[in-house]
Amino acid sequence: MTEFEELLSFLTPRHENAALKTYQNTTAIACPSCDKPFHNLIICKKDLTSLNLDEPMNLCITTTPSGSPMIFTHKQ
Ligand SMILES: [Zn+2]
């Protein structure tokens, strides 16, 4: 299992549509970018995707092994 698959295995899948897949971090896994627990992980499935954020939040961004953008959200 890759680090990426291992990370996903700890998260709870929430929503998926043509553009996005979201997971909730129900077990307080640390964000790979900033080492603080994140709230949700968003994986962008298309080259161009828009996010509508309900509230102010900090974002950490990396990419999946296949090159899709991954966004870790941190509520303020
Ligand atoms: Zn982070």
Residue 53's pLDDT is: 84
pTM as predicted = 0.90
Residue 19 in contact with residue 44, Cβ under 8 Å?
Answer: yes
Tell me the pLDDT band of 72, cut-offs 50, 70 and 90: very high
Say how many Å lie between the CA of residue 9 and the centre of ligand 1. Answer: 18
Distance (angstroms) between ligand 1 centre and the Cα of 37 equals 7
Compute, in angstroms, the gap from residue 1 CA to the centroid of ligand 1: 23
Q: Are 19 and 47 in contact (CB under 8 A)?
A: no
Specify the pLDDT at position 63: 94
Query: 35: number of CA atoms within 13 Å, CB side?
Result: 0
Cα of 26 from ligand 1 centre, angstroms: 15
Q: Report CA(61)–ligand 1 centroid distance (Å).
A: 8
Band the pLDDT of 54: cuts 50, 70, 90.
confident
